Amino acid sequence: MDTIQVNLDQEKPEQHLIIKDHTVVKEMFRIHLKNYFLSLITLGIYRFWAKTNMRRYLWSHVEFQGSRFEYTGTAKELFLGFVIIFFLVLLPITFFPDVYLYFFPETTMGEIGIIGGLQGLIIILLIPAALFRARRYRLTRTRWRAIYGGQSGSAFKFSILTWLYSYLLTPLSLFLFSPWASRNLMQYKLDHTWLGSLQPEFKAPVGQIFKKFIWAMFLSIITVALTAIFIIWLTAMITKSSGVSTAQEMFAALSFYWMILFYIPFLFLLAINNWYRAVETMYFLECTSISNIRFITSKKALLFAWVSVKSMMIVLLTLGLGTPWTYKMYLQFFEQNFAYVGELDVEAMAQHTLEKPTVGEGLADAIDVGAI
Amino acid sequence: MTQNNAFFYDGKSAIKHEVVLNISISHFEIMKLDGVSLTTWDYQSLVLVDQMPETGQARLSHPASPEALLLIESKDTLASIRMATPALFKKKKRSIKSISFWVFLICAAVIGGFYGLSAGADGLAKIIPLSWEEPLAISTEKQVLAVFSEAEGDRRFCEHSPGNIVFKDMVERLSLDDTPEMLKSVRVVRSDIVNAFAIPGGRVFIFKGLIDKAKTEAEVAGVLAHEIGHVQKRHPLAGAIKQFGLSTVIKAISGGSDLAGAASLLVTFSYTRKAENEADNIAAHLLKQSGYGTKGLEQFFQRLMKKDKHQLPAFLSTHPSHKKRVKNLQNKHQSIPLIDSPNRIDTLRTICD
């Protein structure tokens, strides 16, 4: 009996939940409600405190290997980070055209267009750096069993990689490079991630999900094509039946079908995109290992996509008030669908010696690309 | 008293050390199960990281070993510590002082932002050279005429009849001061609307409807002087900056874009209390200097106020209150109109014939 048990274990090692969710929607809602209204009446100034309150709660109610996480960041750090970036980066970029015009009043309309374009471009180029820096802040403010997370690497290098992979090669390849772009960027992020002194290992050959990416692209193209055909057909039908001739009348007639013309294809595209993102996230997780543990997932990408679409709808329809439910939905999904095998070598997990940023997330917050 | 069911993370590795706590009145000692002492934490500096009421767990830290964390899983152990240092577990109430500080800070930020924009716009309007306003003035003038004038081409303005001679004379009298620099043109628009306003670029428009409503020449002069006051103080440009934002106005100034809908907005938006007072003060000065006196402006205010309290033209902005404005005018520059012959106002009324 014992021998058989051992053999079975070797074939299918014991799986453990990656996270255990202890959050209570009612408690999160209480925090969220306070955050929501204080942010509103302070014209957004409270959001640094709001973010910190919610993170403290979330981190301390999620458990890994029997120990809960801890968020050690403070609102003051977030606020200072924002103030610094606001004055050093955002304000100069915003007022750049005005200052330019002040010194060169003869500027032509075309030149103004170029300046405006440059302004937008700088913001877009800053996004990857902002995200990378924000990730560093969050990791260095996360503790598990008194061990801090960390992130090495440079935000500038990460930006260059993002510009190259996502902004240049992806459009040039008619989006076919997209899976490689996300893999390479994830590689850079994980190669520079530290959980104490441990670093994750990430090996993800793109070939295995490329077929699914092609499917997602194919379904998206079909959706757009069917929408176009439907509009042409509808236009013809309206012209035939009601004798509508001018463009204005046609637009008025079509607006009745706006729901079908716009929202349904939009939801379809959103669902396809979310499905692929789910496939990718789960695949990347399965390609990651740390210490002696390896991650596995239920591969229920459709369910994951459904959770993300539902979350978006909840946030939209409740004007953001329902956000705590979406946290719960995601956490429950992670709890039920993500697992790991093996044992973490806690003895080898020591404190890292990386430098910690003293203020946080300023750039990401200033251009509003931060997560929770 | 020793208590167990506590775990210690030393911050050096992720190992979970099961420990016992030797609790005393002022501190507790954290010891390994074999009795080896790890550290001692006093209550005074103890920090409650968080607690989970549902499980009775609490996490504590202490500056003595800043990276370490103590997890207490037993309700009894927690109760012992709570007894020794009840203040630690009480929800920290924010002091009135701290709440007031934040309320003050937020109010200051909101009010500061509002007034900052206001003051910034006024200051900017004063330093931008008048000539820069020209493209903005041209496009706004076009829109004003498109919206308000009932005639076409040259006939949109009334400037060919004998009435025009009187009108020109009035403008000249009112321009005796240093206005010519700022004032580019004062024109009568062929429209029955009772209104007058200034737009950026030193242009003042007075509508035929207003001249018809006026009983005396001094009344028309009063309104004109008030609008000239706005021009002198560069209020139309400051108003446009506040209304449309700095970058839009700069684009319009540089010919980059029109201020879409500028006409309707420029004539309906109200100036600030300060701006109206400034314009009134200049008007009083000009009226006194030109010999018209302030009586005309006062009378016109009063008559229009009585007639139609709800639909006052833009030049009769709702703040400061009319009564106050009339009083101000009376106090500051009380004088009797010198030029007021019935013939002149009759001639003026023919300006659009």
**For B210-228, how does the pLDDT look when each residue is reduced to its tens digit (9 = 90+)?**
888 888 888 889 889 988 8
Q: Do A196 and B14 touch (CB under 8 A)?
A: yes
Do residue B137 and residue B39 come from a single domain?
A: no
Q: Do B14 and A349 touch (CB under 8 A)?
A: yes
Q: Which residues of A touch B10 (CB under 8 A)?
A: 146
- Whether the CB-CB separation of B42 and B58 falls below 8 Å is answered with no
Structure token pair of residue A56: 């403290």
Do residue B134 and residue B85 come from a single domain?
A: no
Total domains in chain B come to 2
The answer to whether residue B31 is domain-embedded is yes
A351 at interface of B, judged by CB pairs closer than 8 A: yes
Q: Where are the domains of chain A?
A: 14-200+288-366, 205-286
User: pLDDT at position B245, please?
Assistant: 63
Q: Which residues of A touch B14 (CB under 8 A)?
A: 144-147, 196, 344, 346-347, 349-350
Do residue B201 and residue B314 come from a single domain?
A: yes
Rounded Cα distance between B266 and B289, Å, is 29
∠B314-B316-B322 over CA atoms, to 5°?
155
Do residue B68 and residue B156 come from a single domain?
A: no
Of the given ranges (A80-94, A327-341, B116-130), which has the lowest mean pLDDT? B116-130
Strands A288-290 and A201-202: antiparallel
Q: Letter for the amino acid at A7?
A: N
User: pLDDT at position A81, please?
Assistant: 86
Strands B203-207 and B17-23: unpaired
Do residue B162 and residue B285 come from a single domain?
A: yes
Rounded Cα distance between A238 and A47, Å, is 50
- Whether the CB-CB separation of A52 and A39 falls below 8 Å is answered with no
- Whether the CB-CB separation of B267 and B259 falls below 8 Å is answered with no
Q: What does each C-alpha distance from B219 to A149, B164, B199, B343 come to in angstroms? A: 77, 17, 21, 15
Above 90 in pLDDT, residue A263? no
Give B252 or A251, the one with higher predicted confidence.
A251
Residue A202's closest CA among A215, A188, A216? A188
Above 50 in pLDDT, residue A5? no
* pLDDT-based confidence at residue A2 (cuts at 50, 70, 90): very low
The answer to whether residue B122 is domain-embedded is no
The answer to whether residue B132 is domain-embedded is yes
**pLDDT block averages, 10 residues each, chain B of length 353:** 80 91 88 90 90 83 91 86 82 71 75 68 72 76 73 76 85 72 84 83 87 86 89 83 64 54 57 79 85 82 66 52 66 54 80 82
Q: Do A351 and B9 touch (CB under 8 A)?
A: no
Q: Do B14 and A60 touch (CB under 8 A)?
A: no
The answer to whether residue B105 is domain-embedded is no
| pLDDT digits 0-9 by tens, A159-171 | 999 999 999 999 9
The answer to whether residue B34 is domain-embedded is yes
Average pLDDT score, chain A: 86
* pLDDT-based confidence at residue A8 (cuts at 50, 70, 90): very low
* H/E segment holding residue A17: strand A15-17
The answer to whether residue B95 is domain-embedded is no
As a whole number, mean pLDDT of residues A308-333 equals 93
Q: Which residues of A touch B253 (CB under 8 A)?
A: 101
Q: What does each C-alpha distance from B340 to B215, B285, B299 come to in angstroms? A: 10, 18, 14
Do residue B81 and residue B132 come from a single domain?
A: no
As a whole number, mean pLDDT of residues A203-224 equals 94
As a whole number, mean pLDDT of residues A232-237 equals 82
Neighbours of B176 (CB within 10 A): 12
State the smallest CA–CA distance between residue B105 and chain A in angstroms.
Answer: 10
Structure token pair of residue A204: 């993800």
* H/E segment holding residue B5: strand B2-9
Range of the domain at B33: 2-89
Residue of B nearest to A57 (CA): B50
Give A358 or B15, the one with higher predicted confidence.
B15
Q: How many CB pairs under 8 A join A and B?
A: 78
Q: Do A351 and B13 touch (CB under 8 A)?
A: yes
The answer to whether residue B111 is domain-embedded is no
Of the given ranges (A138-142, A209-213, B257-261), which has the lowest mean pLDDT? B257-261
The answer to whether residue B183 is domain-embedded is yes
Give B331 or A274, the one with higher predicted confidence.
A274
User: pLDDT at position B94, please?
Assistant: 67
Phi, psi (rounded to 5 degrees) for B194: -90, 95
CATH number of the domain where residue B70 is located: 2.30.29.30
Q: Do B15 and A147 touch (CB under 8 A)?
A: no
A147 at interface of B, judged by CB pairs closer than 8 A: yes
Give the range with max mean pLDDT: A139-148, A253-262, B69-78, B227-236: A139-148
Do residue B192 and residue B269 come from a single domain?
A: yes
* pLDDT-based confidence at residue A6 (cuts at 50, 70, 90): very low
Above 90 in pLDDT, residue A26? yes
Rounded Cα distance between A53 and A51, Å, is 6
Q: Do A98 and B250 touch (CB under 8 A)?
A: yes
